[in-house]
């Protein structure tokens, strides 16, 4: 096995990583890059700050893809549920809305993936942004932008399946306009991850 030194494409200083991660964070210039085939791409990102009363032990940043999407309903037969609420809000309009869909960028069990993607999409987190991780560990990213975009439809359908109501028929389009990584602050415990914004 050949080991090579990885340098930041922007400032060309060496990058040091303790774990395997899809995202290469440069603490010198504050950029994040990833490989997309043979190309290296810069990733737009934000770091959410911990709420002031959050304990300092067991802190971790978890990366999520925040996908700014346009959701357009072509036709539907929905009784109750998330899409029905969207449809009611759009009556008389163009049957479309902008929605932020959150897709975990880290490896998670299926139940945790579903829980966090649905809850963060329904209740977009409000937070103050910070400029660095302040020495807080980051959960490694495993999901690429293209994979997150593919998972957006899964999250949209899961939203409907998780809410009371009956989905009879739904024909829609989901267009991703922007993909940004948001590192959300969590407290880690035996019972799992707890959002700390």
1: domain CATH number?
Answer: 2.20.28
Instruction: Indicate whether 156 pLDDT > 90.
Output: no
Pair (1, 73) in one structural domain: no
Find where tokens 């959960």 sit. 139
Question: What percent of the chain clears pLDDT 70, i.e. is strictly above it?
Answer: 82
- Same domain? 37 vs 53: no
* 49 shares its domain with 33: no
Q: CA-CA-CA-CA torsion for 53, 194, 130, 179, nearest 10 degrees? A: -160
Same domain, 80 and 124: yes
Highest mean pLDDT among 73-77, 107-111, 156-160: 107-111
Residue 82 has pLDDT above 50, yes or no: yes
Beta bridge partners of 40: 35
Residues 157 and 109 placed together within one structural domain of the fold = yes
Give me the chain's average pLDDT, please.
Answer: 86
Residues 63 and 20 in one domain: no
> How many Cβ atoms are within 10 Å of 67's Cβ, its own excluded?
24
Q: How far apart are CA 87 and CA 91, in angstroms?
A: 6
Q: What strand order describes the sheet that includes 39-42?
A: 24-25, 32-36, 39-42
Query: Are residues 189 and 129 both part of a single domain?
Result: yes
Of residues 40 and 179, the one with the higher pLDDT is 179
One domain, residues 6 and 91: no
Residue 158 pLDDT greater than 60, yes or no: yes
Do residues 108 and 161 share a domain?
yes
Q: State whether 94 and 25 are in the same domain.
A: no
DSSP assignment, residue 133?
Answer: -
For the chain, how are helix, strand and coil distributed in percent, rounded to 5? Answer: 20, 40, 40
What does DSSP assign to residue 91? T
pLDDT recorded at residue 15? 86
- Classify 161 as helix, strand or coil: helix
Do 107 and 161 belong to one domain? yes
Q: Which residue has the tokens 């942004």?
A: 129
In this predicted structure, the answer to whether residue 157 has a pLDDT above a threshold of 90 is no
User: What integer is the mean pLDDT of 74-97?
Assistant: 61
pLDDT tier for residue 92 given thresholds of 50, 70 and 90: very low
* Residue ranges making up the domain that contains 32: 1-43
Q: Is there a contact between 197 and 123 (Cβ–Cβ < 8 Å)?
A: no
Number of domains in the chain: 2
Q: 68-93 as b/e, with b when 16 or more CB fall inside 10 Å?
A: ebebebeebebeebbbbebbeeeeee
Closest among 183, 102, 181 to 144, alpha carbons compared: 181
Range among 7-16, 55-64, 79-88, 92-101 rated most confident: 55-64
For residues 163 and 82, membership in a common domain is answered with: yes
Residue 41: strand, helix, or coil: strand
Round to whole Å and give the CA distance between 67 and 109.
Answer: 21
Query: Is residue 2 pLDDT above 90, yes or no?
Result: no
User: Strands 45-48 and 165-189, how do they pair?
Assistant: parallel
Q: Which residue has the higher pLDDT, 95 or 16?
A: 16
């Amino acid at each position: 096995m050949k080991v090579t030194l990885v340098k930041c494409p922007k400032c060309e200083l060496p990058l040091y990583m303790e774990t395997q991660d899809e995202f290469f964070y440069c603490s010198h210039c504050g950029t994040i890059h990833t490989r997309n085939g043979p190309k290296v791409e810069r990733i737009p990102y934000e770091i959410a700050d911990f709420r002031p009363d959050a304990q300092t032990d067991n802190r971790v940043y978890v990366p999520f893809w925040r996908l700014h999407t346009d959701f357009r309903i072509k036709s539907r037969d929905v009784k109750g549920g998330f899409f029905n609420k969207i449809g009611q809000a759009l009556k008389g309009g163009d049957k479309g809305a902008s929605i932020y869909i959150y897709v975990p960028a880290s490896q998670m069990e299926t139940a945790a993936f579903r829980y966090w993607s649905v809850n963060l999409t329904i209740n977009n987190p409000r937070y103050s942004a910070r400029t660095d991780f302040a020495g807080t560990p980051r959960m490694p990213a495993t999901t690429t932008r293209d994979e997150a975009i593919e998972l957006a439809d899964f999250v949209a359908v899961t939203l409907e399946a998780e809410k009371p109501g009956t989905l009879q028929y739904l024909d829609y389009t989901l267009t991703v306009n922007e993909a940004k990584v948001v590192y959300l602050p969590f407290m880690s415990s035996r019972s799992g991850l707890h959002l700390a914004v």
